[in-house]
Amino acid sequence: MFRLDGKTAVVTGAGSGIGAAIAELFALQGARVAVLDVDLEAARATVLRLRGSGNEAEALPCDVGDLESVRASFELVLTRFGTLDILVNNAGIAHVGTLGDTSEADFDRVQRVNTKGVFLCAQAALPAMLAGGGGVILNMASIASLIGIEARFAYSMSKGAVLAMTRSIAVDYVKRNIRCNCICPARIHTPFVDGFLAKHYPGREREMFEKLSAYQPLGRMGRPDEVALLALYLCSDASAFVTGQAFPLDGGVLMQ
């Protein structure tokens, strides 16, 4: 039911964290996986793990906020694999700040990756999906697109746009056999979180990690593999009747 045999999947930001977990699970389920990341060495490390398990994968550099970079990467995907069936728009960056202390440069930087990146990659994938008779686009939004979170102004703006794009793509292409959904995670424990704590709370990493974990009523952060399992459902034929939806993966945050 959850197999992806014969499918080609593109996963952006797949050099580490959630993207790497999705790429690994998709490969395990039979997909050919294009691992895109602005950090090519990180993408290659993911691909080495996939190929070590006998899976077909390719590492490609991609700055999702740059049109020419996106075009070049997707052209290489089609040259390498011939088809494109699944796109997971996972690449994204974070920002901490309120309306009052968010600079124009910060705002533009977050929007360039989190919003423009989803737009450019989805647009680049569209012709191949239409030519192939359909496909699946899965976007990574956030619970910040559904509720207000303190000091996440620019980030919340960008993820709210991802949610709106998801619904727009879904309604525009539902008759062309292209499904589009998004996942809205709460905090997920990735290397990014550890780096963020080390940078902003030196000497207090454990204290702040526990505080961030406690934000979720279940008392912990989510794991990348848990996001990957939901992504697999939404990108497989098991969810063939699902489109235009936002799926919280929040440890109970939204039930409060």
Positions marked catalytic: 155
Residue 191, CA distances (Å) to 19, 105, 107, 184 in order: 12, 25, 23, 19
Counting DSSP H helices and E strands in the chain, the numbers are: 9, 7
Which residue, chain included where needed, has tokens 């239409």?
A: 130
State the Rg of the chain over Cα: 17
- Helix 67-81 to helix 117-131 angle (10° resolution) is 30
HSE-up of residue 150 (Cα within 13 Å, Cβ side): 2
- Count CB-CB contacts under 10 A for residue 211: 11
188 vs 226: CA distance, rounded Å: 9
User: 233-242 b/e with 16+ CB inside 10 Å = b?
Assistant: bbbbeebeee
Phi first, then psi: what are they for 99, rounded to 5°?
A: -55, -45
Q: Which tokens in the block code for residue 146?
A: 């559904």
